[in-house]
Amino acid sequence: MTDNIIEERRMLDDMFGLAGRVAIVTGASSGLGLGFARTLAGAGATVFAAARRLDRLNTLAAEVPGIVPVQCDITVDADRRSLVNRAVAEGGRIDVLVNNAGTPGPPNAEDETIDGFDAVLRVNLVAGFHLATYLVGSLPADARASIVNVSSVIGLVSTAPIGGASYAASKAGTLGLTRELAGQWGRRGVRVNAVVPGWFDTEMTDGLFTNDKSAGWVRRNTMLGRGGTDGEIDGAIVFLASDASSYMTGQTLVVDGGWTAR
């Protein structure tokens, strides 16, 4: 191996590596969030993996070095504050926040209740906003941080009959919030971007890929002719968390197999 190749690999490691960084990932007990936590830890970060299901987080921590399990209900403000405070106390600071936790609502608008609509927004939009403000409030004046908000193709286009009004509103709101926070905090060294996943086989899409009709709907309407598989969005998270995206903020990175490009 030549010296040039070695130097290029070092540059790539520096660009995409997260050694010494401290990250928070919400909704880390399953689905995409579990993959995000694994991948960030694999890139060298200490990851405070937060979710309500502590048993699953403990299993993840036993399998993956660098994972710190934190039981947290992000709709409870005391839990949100405790999560940020613990990451700062044990990690020294927070470099990365991935607002991933989410919950669906009913697919039909007429089935949405007032309380149910509010509950979806509290999880998918409001909690991430408060976590972001608490993170920024914890930063020293010269600190840098990256916030990654996880939205959805349902926040960009209608996916009726699958989706739902409360979920679509929360995920579209996430994109608007991303742009606004990026504008407010950019000069403070805080980058805020969003990732938009397409159709992945997770707990939230349970049944989508096992039903011939809905699985066929995904295949027909996705340019790559299939849904996403494990790990296919994780690289986008590492990119936005790392110095590889150091001149990127207020942006939406769509990872949907071409669903929204039709």
Query: What CATH number matches the domain at 11-261, 3.40.50.720, 3.50.50.60, 3.30.750.24, 3.30.200.20?
Result: 3.40.50.720
- Enter the tokens of residue 172: 């579209």
Domain residue spans in the chain? 11-261
pLDDT score recorded for residue 91: 97
Asked if 193 and 178 touch (Cβ cutoff 8 Å), the reply is: yes
Nearest alpha carbon to residue 149 among 167, 125, 119, 122: 125
pLDDT score of 4 more than 80: no
Confidence label for 9 from pLDDT (cuts 50, 70 and 90): low
Burial grade of 129 (CB within 10 A; 0-12, 13-18, 19 or more): middle
* Cβ neighbours around 77 below 10 Å, total: 13
The gap from C-alpha 250 to its chain's centroid, in whole angstroms, comes to 15
Q: Which residues are catalytic?
A: 167
Of 71-80, 145-154, 199-208, the one with minimum mean pLDDT is 199-208
pLDDT score recorded for residue 78: 98
Burial grade of 187 (CB within 10 A; 0-12, 13-18, 19 or more): exposed
Q: What are the pLDDT digits (tens) for 71-94?
A: 999 999 999 999 999 999 999 999
The mean pLDDT value of the chain amounts to: 93
DSSP structure class, residue 155? G
pLDDT score of 225 more than 70: yes
Look up the pTM and report it. 0.93
